[in-house]
Amino acid sequence: MSFEVPDWLKYEIREKLERLQNRWEHLAVRKWVNDNPTLVVGITSASVLVLLVVVIWLAWPEGAVPIVEYDKEWFYDLNTGELFSTSEGLTPPIEAPSGPLPNGAAAGVRAYVLTYVSEPNESERFIAFLETTDPQSRSAGSPVVDSNASGAEQWGKGKLIRRLRDKQWFPADSRRGRAIFEEAFTPNENGERPYYFQPK
């Protein structure tokens, strides 16, 4: 048994369609379109052209972004309070330009220089914290890394960090060390996080 639309419903639909057609015929827009066909074609052509330009602009491949590799890192001279750069991959403490500390230890520790702008001048960058190697972990050999530890915890094994104003060093994977690290990367009033500024 097939479903058949009742006659009264057919009549209602036909009547509504006729009413809509009557309204369309009496609209001022339709009259204006009929009276100005060249203007309508011009507007349509301009719209299609703008759409085409936007699509091409969005689809156009961007040039390759040059990747700049740096082979230097920032270090801080504990004797003079000055930054200096040296080749990448050195384990702090290292020899500093001013010589050793009064106790005979090397005075060069790694400095994390951060900035909020892409090409900072000296006043737009800051030393977030300093890093050196924990002498206890050095004497015990390479630190054991827990595979379940987070990236920050793995990075912090065997390292001591401190802010410039601190006198004491803290293990980087300790609660105090993590607080120093988090404070360094706190967003500014615009919600932007600082990033590491490599020496050139």
Q: Spell out the per-residue pLDDT of the chain, length 200, in tens.
A: 566 767 777 778 888 888 887 776 666 666 777 777 887 788 888 888 888 888 888 887 766 655 556 688 999 999 999 999 998 889 999 999 999 999 999 999 999 999 988 888 888 899 999 999 988 875 544 555 555 555 556 677 889 999 999 999 999 888 999 999 899 988 888 888 898 888 87
CB 99, CB 82: distance < 8 Å: no
64 is written with which tokens?
């390759």
Collapsing DSSP to helix, strand or coil, 197 comes out as coil
Cα–Cα–Cα angle for 66, 197, 62, rounded to 5 degrees: 20
CB 181, CB 129: distance < 8 Å: yes
The alpha-carbon radius of gyration of the chain (Å, integer) is 35
* Rounded-to-integer distance, Cα 91 and Cα 168, Å: 20
* Rounded-to-integer distance, Cα 193 and Cα 132, Å: 24
